[in-house]
């Protein structure tokens, strides 16, 4: 059912720029109060769902650590980590999302935060072994191929560096979206792996989600976890969380998170 070739990078960039204007939940910057508490050592960041990530997954002291917030714009995680002492680079496909980080940095005097626009599959803007931590919250559903993402994460991390990644349980894509969201019915209609582009024509996508909605792609656990291992990472932690309001939340976890290290 695949229609004309769609460039997911440019399409999703425009979609997320619009989501910022609409006030998407993941585009609402943290307050000055949150930043000030982080400066005093009282901080948390979200990797999956709305639960704070396990602090043991991050260095005990972030002072002077180089952190890449990968596909993590929106003025949320990056400013908090910068206020906690890290040198933060927020890398995102949406200039609107990055604008939220720049706004917080200017408002609260976060000199240790910079932003870079780009596709998470291509980190050629950075040299080898440039970061101590890559913080990658749920976002790789917006790219069709995961292998380049994991290879690039491995390349830009220093030996002993940590990759924290959040991603969707692929089973959430089994269900009919409208039946689940509107009536709470878990009707299995899609084969996995799922893709908005291959599952629906452009006309069907427009009718179901809106013509300008971000394109999503499901990924197997082999691609998510096995892909990290294939890139050279060693898995050190795993967590899961339900969706906050989805009708299937009482039956399954919607989000998975991994902590992995680059040997060295």
Radius of gyration of the chain (CA): 18
Weakest-pLDDT range from 13-17, 176-180, 189-193? 176-180
pLDDT at 178: 79
Task: Quickly state the pLDDT bin for 244 (edges 50, 70, 90).
Answer: low
Strand partners, 163: 134, 260
Averaged pLDDT score across all residues of the chain = 94
Instruction: Kindly tell me if the per-residue pLDDT of 2 is higher than 50.
Output: no
CATH number of 8-261: 3.40.50.150
For range 123-145, the mean pLDDT: 98
Residue 177 has pLDDT above 90, yes or no: no
Q: Which of 18-32, 146-160, 180-194, 204-218 has the lowest mean pLDDT?
A: 180-194
Cα–Cα distances (Å) from 2 to 5, 67, 178, 181, 255, in that order, read: 8, 38, 21, 25, 27
Given this model, what pLDDT does residue 166 score?
98
The whole model's pTM is what? 0.95
Residue 4 confidence (pLDDT): 54
Per-residue pLDDT reduced to its tens digit, 88-114: 999 999 999 999 999 999 999 999 999
The average pLDDT across 113-136 equals 98
CB neighbours of 134 closer than 8 A, spacing ≥ 6? 67, 68, 70, 153, 156, 157, 161, 162, 163, 164, 165
Is residue 90 within 8 Å of residue 112, measured between CB atoms? no
Asked if residue 264 lies in contact with residue 160, where contact means CB atoms within 8 angstroms, the answer is: yes
Q: Does residue 63 carry a pLDDT above 90? A: yes
**Residue ranges per structural domain of the chain:** 8-261
pLDDT more than 90, % of the chain: 81
Q: CA–CA separation, 136 vs 91, rounded Å?
A: 10
């Amino acid at each position: 059912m695949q229609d004309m070739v769609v460039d997911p990078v440019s399409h999703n960039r425009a979609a997320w720029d619009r989501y910022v204007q609409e006030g998407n939940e993941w585009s609402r910057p943290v307050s000055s109060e949150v930043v000030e508490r982080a400066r005093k050592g009282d901080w948390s960041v979200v990797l999956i769902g709305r639960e704070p990530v396990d602090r043991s997954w991050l260095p005990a002291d972030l002072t002077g650590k180089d952190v890449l917030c990968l596909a993590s714009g929106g003025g949320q995680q990056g400013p908090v980590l910068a206020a906690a002492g890290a040198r933060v680079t927020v890398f995102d496909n949406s200039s609107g999302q990055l604008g939220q980080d720049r706004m917080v940095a200017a408002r609260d005097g976060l000199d240790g935060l910079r932003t870079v626009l780009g596709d998470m599959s291509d980190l050629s803007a950075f040299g080898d072994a440039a970061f101590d931590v890559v913080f990658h919250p749920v976002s790789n559903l917006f790219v069709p191929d995961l292998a380049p993402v994991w290879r690039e994460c491995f390349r830009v991390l220093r030996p002993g560096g940590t990759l924290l990644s959040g991603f969707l349980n692929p089973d959430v894509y089994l269900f009919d979206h409208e039946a689940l969201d509107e009536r709470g019915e878990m009707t299995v209609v899609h084969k996995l792996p799922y893709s908005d582009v291959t599952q629906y024509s452009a006309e069907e996508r427009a009718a179901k989600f809106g013509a300008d909605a971000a394109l999503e792609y499901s990924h197997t656990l082999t691609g998510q976890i096995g892909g990290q291992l294939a890139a050279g990472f060693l898995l050190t932690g795993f967590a899961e969380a339900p969706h906050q309001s989805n009708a299937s939340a009482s039956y399954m976890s919607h989000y998975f998170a991994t902590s992995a290290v680059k040997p060295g």
